[in-house]
């Protein structure tokens, strides 16, 4: 059985990070409703992980849930050890990179949602 096909165990100490990864993939593929389901599971498992909160803020904003997006963005900012969520430019500089195709997916989904949630460009 491949690692990708292995069932998730609720007792896995890293389960929240698996949920986060699955939610991020759904977000990047514009499957916002699915992203929200998985990212909410991740938030429950690892509530102090700021990146879960920012991904959820983006997904909520893309779904038109602006109040929920704003609340998650505020929590991401509170939990973050730096000011990466103060602008899209800072987020880009903090390492949301990868291949050109992956960067394009982040632009089309994650950053678009964060802009709708209130994150300025600079």
Give the tokens for residue 44: 């429950």
Q: pLDDT value at position 90?
A: 94
Domain count, the chain: 1
Other C-beta atoms within 10 Å of 84: how many? 19
pLDDT in tens, 51-77: 999 999 999 999 999 999 999 999 999
What's the mean pLDDT when you consider all of the chain?
91
Burial degree of 87 (CB within 10 A; 0-12, 13-18, 19+):
middle
In a domain, 30, yes or no: yes
Q: Distance (Å, rounded) from C-alpha 104 to C-alpha 78?
A: 27
Domain that residue 58 falls in? 15-117
In a domain, 3, yes or no: no
Q: Residue 111: which CATH number? A: 1.25.40.10
In a domain, 49, yes or no: yes
In a domain, 6, yes or no: no
pLDDT in tens, 14-50: 999 999 999 999 999 999 999 999 999 999 999 999 9
| Among 30, 54, 59, CA closest to 119 | 54
Q: pLDDT value at position 9?
A: 73
pTM confidence score: 0.90
């Amino acid at each position: 059985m491949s690692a990708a096909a292995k069932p998730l165990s609720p007792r896995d100490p890293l389960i929240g990070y698996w949920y986060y990864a699955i939610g991020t993939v759904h977000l990047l593929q514009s499957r916002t409703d699915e992203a929200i389901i998985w990212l909410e599971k991740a938030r429950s498992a690892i509530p102090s992980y700021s990146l879960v909160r920012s991904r959820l803020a983006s997904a909520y904003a893309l779904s038109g849930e602006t109040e929920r997006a704003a609340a998650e963005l505020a929590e991401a900012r509170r939990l973050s050890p730096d000011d990466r969520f103060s602008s899209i430019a800072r987020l880009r500089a903090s390492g949301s990179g990868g291949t050109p195709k992956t960067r394009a997916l982040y632009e089309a989904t994650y950053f678009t949602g964060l802009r709708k949630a209130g994150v300025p460009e600079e």
